[in-house]
Amino acid sequence: MPKPRPTCAYCGKDYGQRDVRSMPLKWACDEPKPAYTGNHIHIRDRFERKNQEFEMEPSPVLQGYMVPKKPLKLVKEYMTCDRETWDGETYFTRYDPFCTLRCALAYARNAYNTNRIRNRTYA
Ligand SMILES: [Zn+2]
């Protein structure tokens, strides 16, 4: 069961984004995509694509660079994606324990003004 989002100390609204971690994943083209087996919550797989590597040779023009050998000869083919998972309790927050900088400043100004009124001296 995921932890609920934190609430702002000033306005009381929910804030924060799930702190999602991304891990690169690689598998062979003819195999099915490996299932997620970890103990985090699997969010989604992004940027799923097929990769091809060709036989390379040193470039005749640019020294130190490699270019594909012509005619193209396939060396390796594989699939990759970025697997995003979340541990179910960590949230990304910028102005903890406030939702925004606006709330943090409003809270600070209120506290400052309250203290100034309380400590006012009458000459
Ligand atoms: Zn707020």
Domain ranges across the chain: 1-18+90-123, 20-86
Ligand 1 centre distance from Cα of residue 9 (Å): 7
Across the chain, mean pLDDT equals 92
Distance 113 CA to ligand 1 centre (A): 19
Q: Per residue in 21-55, pLDDT tens?
A: 999 999 999 999 999 999 999 999 999 999 999 99
Q: Ion ligand 1 — residues with CB under 5 Å?
A: 8, 10-11, 99, 103
Distances (CA, A) of 82 to 6, 48, 79: 28, 7, 11
CB 33 within 8 A of CB 79: yes
The closest of 41, 58, 49 to 25, measured between CA atoms, is 49
Residues 73-96 have pLDDT tens digits of 999 999 999 999 999 999 999 998
* Cα(4)–Cα(7) distance, integer angstroms: 9
Residue 123 has pLDDT above 70, yes or no: no
How far, in Å, are 32, 93, 118 from residue 48 at the CA level?
A: 13, 29, 61
More confident residue, 27 or 116: 27
> From CA 46, how far away is CA 91, in angstroms rounded?
20
What's the gap in Å between 111 CA and the centre of ligand 1? 15
Q: pTM of the prediction?
A: 0.67
Q: What percent of the chain has pLDDT over 90?
A: 82
